[in-house]
Amino acid sequence: MSYQLSAVVADVELLRERTADLDHAVLAALRQDFALLPVTPQLVEELTGALPDFAATEPGPEQPFELVLSPALAGLFAGWSRSGPAAYLEAEFSGGLGRQASVVWLGGAVSWGPHFDDVLDAPRGQWPLNAALTRIGAEPGRWLDPFAELGLHLERNTAGWLAHGRRGLSADYWDELAEEWEFGESGDRQQPERPGAVVDWGIP
């Protein structure tokens, strides 16, 4: 099962304020009053006035992201962070193999990262996505790690997050749907498919 992510995560009110006048900004709800903003080519062009640039080679420690964070784009995200921490998260996995990278801005400047990992042999809390989420304020809960706690496993790719945001779904949508089904349906009908555990989404 594959998983792809290219998004900014920050406090929902911060992102609402910064994207209110943008035609191509779609916010998807996460838990703990965070939101996810899928970074699409259309959004990048709207924000910077230029088409996005992508790395010519596979991402690695020297170039952690496939999306090139141009000075204009990085400067804009840094500007948003004057109202609170913001993280850019990028990941691509298939069958348990892949990569993830992140960077965090706070107070108008990079406060952590960028960090890249395609081995993921460190404790889960040190993986780039989890570490970045912790640094923007994600708190521990009943889920496996910050990634799952906020609900980033709920959609598999940018298209899924765009649909999630446009439909106004909550991060607990699948749980709510299952509870509704269990309450209103007999055992003769099949339960709707729900997102698998984090390990099933291509992330070890």
Q: Encode pLDDT of 91-146 as tens digits.
A: 999 987 899 999 999 999 999 999 999 999 999 999 999 999 999 999 998 888 99
Query: What integer pLDDT is reported at residue 186 of this predicted model?
Result: 46
Query: What integer pLDDT is reported at residue 175 of this predicted model?
Result: 67
Tokens found for residue 191: 């339960």
Of 178 and 3, the structure prediction assigns the larger pLDDT to: 3
Of 3 and 173, the structure prediction assigns the larger pLDDT to: 3
Query: What integer pLDDT is reported at residue 33 of this predicted model?
Result: 96
| 165-193 pLDDT, tens digit each | 999 998 887 666 555 555 554 444 444 45
Calculate helix-pair angle for 12-19, 71-80, nearest 10 degrees: 130
- What is the C-alpha separation between 64 and 162, in angstroms, rounded? 24
pTM check: above 0.75 = yes
Query: What integer pLDDT is reported at residue 184 of this predicted model?
Result: 55
The pLDDT mean for the chain works out to: 88
Query: What integer pLDDT is reported at residue 188 of this predicted model?
Result: 46
Share of the chain above pLDDT 90, in %: 78
- What is the C-alpha separation between 96 and 76, in angstroms, rounded? 33
Give yes or no for residue 200 having a pLDDT over 60. no
Closest CA to 130 of 18, 5, 26, 1: 5
- What is the C-alpha separation between 130 and 148, in angstroms, rounded? 9
